[in-house]
């Protein structure tokens, strides 16, 4: 059976689940629907177990009966077997109905998460200042074109809007960011993986990406496979239907190309490479015991901040509001860099604590001290991605149109300290 939250918690603390839904801005009535489905599921299971016990008891009577009595008892047994089969089918139907009902519920929101929609976030910290210049700053598109770092026109010619080529120093700079991120995650104990970018529906559904944001995902109907928008999906599926050893947390870093339809962003960020259909990303993913999830979340955030500081970027860390979490996250921290040309902060990276929401759907468990199995907690966070080019180019631009390379990135670019206009 698939479930996104503990059925016992749903039964015993429905008001807690309703409060979480309300903070998300999601329908509270879904909780009552799930409760009704859970009650029907339990009733079906009880009836199935009663009939099966009756069948087992009847089987013993047949074995002990006199020869003349057996034909009638055997016929009764056949009727009982048919009843058990029908009851089992009703259990299957009831469990499917419960799964459908409970899947409408988002993860339980962490108590510290601010309620409300996107604009209701809380700023947790800031680093640096909102960068200003004594000259008119260029945006990343103008910089990228003059530096021959990317080609948006030809990208659109070949693949359509929101596609691009990274060229020359642009391709090298993206690779430098990714390699520095790889060194950081390796030093922090993550195992690197290159991941599939096509996954089965059950894996995509298990991670929570086929709910309210399903229109953001590319689907290949002929193969019934989905292109992933983050390696989080493949990493979450890595241990699906397994019992894992969590004597130590399992930490992975997935390097992959990512694909997003951006169906809900019509007219937004159409200029440049901030919001695109294809990009590269290094994604952290951890499996931990539920009691260790909050500490792991802070660990991921700290690594992300070290990366942005190494890139010498000005940023803020926000506690994302409940209505902007997505279905799988109980809490999410976004780190937004200051973009001088836009005079605003824009998201460069995020990290989410998904508690047991994904593992319940995917069947990933660990063995507790009592010997029983229980769902693991999963967390994810971006270590590096293509979008960082936007902030780096704009933050480190100079009056003559050149861009200063942050010291930490220079070794990954063969010692280049300044990118000059071509």
Catalytic residue chosen out of the listed positions 41, 162, 301, 387: 387
What is d(CA 336, CA 300) in angstroms, rounded to the nearest whole number?
15
Residue 260 known to be catalytic? yes
Residue 275 to residues 230, 308, 348, 350, Cα–Cα distance (Å): 14, 19, 11, 15
Is 157 exposed, middle or buried (CB count within 10 Å of its CB: 0-12, 13-18, 19+)?
exposed
Match 């995020």 to its residue by tokens.
350
Match 């020869």 to its residue by tokens.
67
Residue 350 known to be catalytic? yes
For residue 188, the SS3 value is: coil
Residue 305 known to be catalytic? no
Catalytic residue chosen out of the listed positions 350, 352, 361, 394: 350
Is 114 exposed, middle or buried (CB count within 10 Å of its CB: 0-12, 13-18, 19+)?
middle
Q: Which two tokens mark 267?
A: 């007219």
What is d(CA 395, CA 421) in angstroms, rounded to the nearest whole number?
16
Catalytic residue chosen out of the listed positions 275, 306, 346, 404: 275
Catalytic residue chosen out of the listed positions 162, 260, 331, 360: 260
Q: Which two tokens mark 65?
A: 């009966």
Between β-strands 418-419 and 403-404, what pairing exists: parallel, antiparallel or unpaired? Answer: antiparallel
Q: Which two tokens mark 162?
A: 């929101």
Is 295 exposed, middle or buried (CB count within 10 Å of its CB: 0-12, 13-18, 19+)?
exposed
Residue 387 known to be catalytic? yes
Residue 347 known to be catalytic? yes
Catalytic residue chosen out of the listed positions 42, 312, 347, 402: 347
Which residues have a catalytic role annotated? 260, 275, 347, 350, 387
């Amino acid at each position: 059976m698939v479930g996104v939250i503990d059925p016992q918690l749903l039964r015993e603390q429905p008001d807690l689940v309703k409060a979480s839904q309300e903070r998300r801005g999601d329908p509270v009535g879904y909780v009552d629907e799930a409760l009704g489905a859970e009650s029907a599921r339990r009733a079906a299971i009880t009836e199935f177990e009663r009939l099966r016990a009756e069948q087992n008891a009847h089987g013993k009577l047949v074995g002990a009966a006199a020869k003349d009595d057996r034909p009638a008892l055997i016929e009764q047994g056949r009727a009982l077997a048919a009843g058990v089969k029908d009851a089992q089918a009703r259990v299957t139907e009831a469990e499917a109905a419960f799964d459908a009902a409970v899947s409408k519920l988002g993860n339980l929101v962490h108590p510290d998460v601010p309620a409300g929609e996107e604009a209701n976030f809380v700023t947790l910290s800031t680093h640096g200042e909102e960068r200003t210049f004594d000259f008119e700053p260029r945006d990343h598109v103008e910089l990228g074109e003059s530096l021959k770092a990317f080609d948006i026109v030809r990208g659109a010619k070949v693949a359509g809007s929101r596609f691009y080529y990274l060229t020359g120093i642009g391709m090298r700079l993206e690779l430098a960011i990714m390699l520095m991120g790889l060194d950081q995650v390796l030093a922090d104990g993550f195992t690197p993986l290159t991941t599939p970018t096509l996954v089965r529906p059950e894996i995509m559904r298990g991670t929570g990406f086929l709910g309210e944001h399903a229109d953001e995902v590319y689907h290949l109907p002929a193969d019934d496979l989905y292109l992933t928008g983050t390696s989080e999906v493949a990493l979450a599926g890595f241990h699906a239907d397994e019992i894992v050893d969590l004597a130590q947390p399992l930490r992975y870093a997935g390097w992959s190309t990512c694909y997003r339809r951006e169906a809900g962003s019509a007219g937004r960020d159409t200029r440049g490479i901030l919001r695109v259909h294809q990009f590269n990303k290094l994604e952290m993913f951890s499996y931990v015991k539920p009691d260790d999830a909050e500490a792991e979340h802070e660990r991921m955030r700290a690594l992300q901040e070290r990366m942005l500081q190494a890139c010498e970027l000005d940023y803020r860390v926000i506690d994302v509001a409940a209505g902007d979490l997505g279905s799988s996250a109980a809490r999410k921290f976004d780190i937004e860099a200051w973009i001088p040309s836009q005079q605003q902060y824009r998201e460069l990276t995020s990290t989410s604590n998904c508690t047991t929401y994904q593992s319940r759907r995917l069947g990933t468990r660990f063995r507790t001290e009592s010997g029983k199995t229980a769902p693991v907690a999963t967390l994810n966070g971006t270590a590096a991605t293509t979008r960082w080019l936007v902030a780096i180019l704009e933050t480190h631009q100079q009056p003559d149109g050149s861009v200063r390379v942050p010291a930490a990135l220079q070794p990954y670019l063969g010692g280049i300290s300044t990118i000059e206009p071509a």
